Amino acid sequence: MCTGKCSRCIAYTLYPLVFLSMLCNIILFFPGGAVKYSREGHITEEVKYMGGLIGGGLMVLIPALYISCTGEEGCMGNRCGMFLSIGFAVEGLAGALYSFIVAASGVGNGPLCLYNGQWTTPFKNSQLCAGDSLCHSDDQRPHRLPVWDLQQNRDRDHKLTICISHLES
pLDDT band at 128 (very low <50, low <70, confident <90, very high): low
In the chain, domain spans: 4-109+156-168
| pLDDT value for 19 | 93
Q: To the nearest whole number, what is the mean pLDDT of the chain?
A: 76
Residue 119 phi, psi (nearest 5): -80, 120
pLDDT band at 34 (very low <50, low <70, confident <90, very high): confident
Decide: 60 and 166 in contact? Cβ < 8 Å.
Answer: no
Residues 6+ apart with CB under 8 A from 137: 115
Length in residues, the chain: 169
pLDDT band at 151 (very low <50, low <70, confident <90, very high): very low
pLDDT band at 149 (very low <50, low <70, confident <90, very high): very low
Q: Calculate mean pLDDT across residues 23-52.
A: 87
pLDDT band at 101 (very low <50, low <70, confident <90, very high): very high
| pLDDT value for 37 | 84
pLDDT at 94 over 80: yes
Q: Rounded to an integer, what is the distance from CA 74 to the centroid of its chain?
A: 33
In terms of Cα–Cα distance, which of 85, 86, 80 is closest to 67? 85
| pLDDT value for 29 | 87
Separation of alpha carbons 162 and 44, rounded Å: 17
Helix, strand, coil tally for the chain in percent (to 5)? 70, 5, 30
Any idea what DSSP says for residue 124? S
pLDDT at 135 over 50: no
156 vs 93, more confident:
93
3-class DSSP assignment, residue 85: helix
Separation of alpha carbons 10 and 22, rounded Å: 19
Amino acid at 1: M
CA atoms within 13 A on the CB side of 44: 30
Q: Calculate mean pLDDT across residues 125-141.
A: 51
Separation of alpha carbons 3 and 9, rounded Å: 10
